[in-house]
Amino acid sequence: MNNLGKFLLIAGICLAAVGVVLLMAPRLPWLGKLPGDIVIRRRNAVFYFPITTSILISIILTVLFNLFRK
């Protein structure tokens, strides 16, 4: 039962962090508009693939997780 409590606490903190990021995302104008992000616009469709933004977020999260793991 102790492990379930820890899991729920960590899951709640992660959900709160995701919520904060989603609230702050519109205030970061460069997020999603970096060089290397792919945007293809056609007459009635838009394909958007933020590859550079995804790589940057992945690197930041990897560094943060490695810092807090030790």
pLDDT for 70: 65
Write out pLDDT tens, residues 54-67: 898 899 889 988 88
**Is pLDDT of 42 > 90?**
yes
The dihedral through the CA atoms of 66, 23, 18, 49 has a sign that is negative
The pTM assigned to this predicted structure is 0.59
Half-sphere exposure for 14 (CA within 13 Å, toward CB):
8
**Looking at residues 26-54, what average pLDDT do you find?**
86
**Looking at residues 6-31, what average pLDDT do you find?**
83
Higher per-residue confidence, 51 vs 32: 51
pLDDT for 4: 86
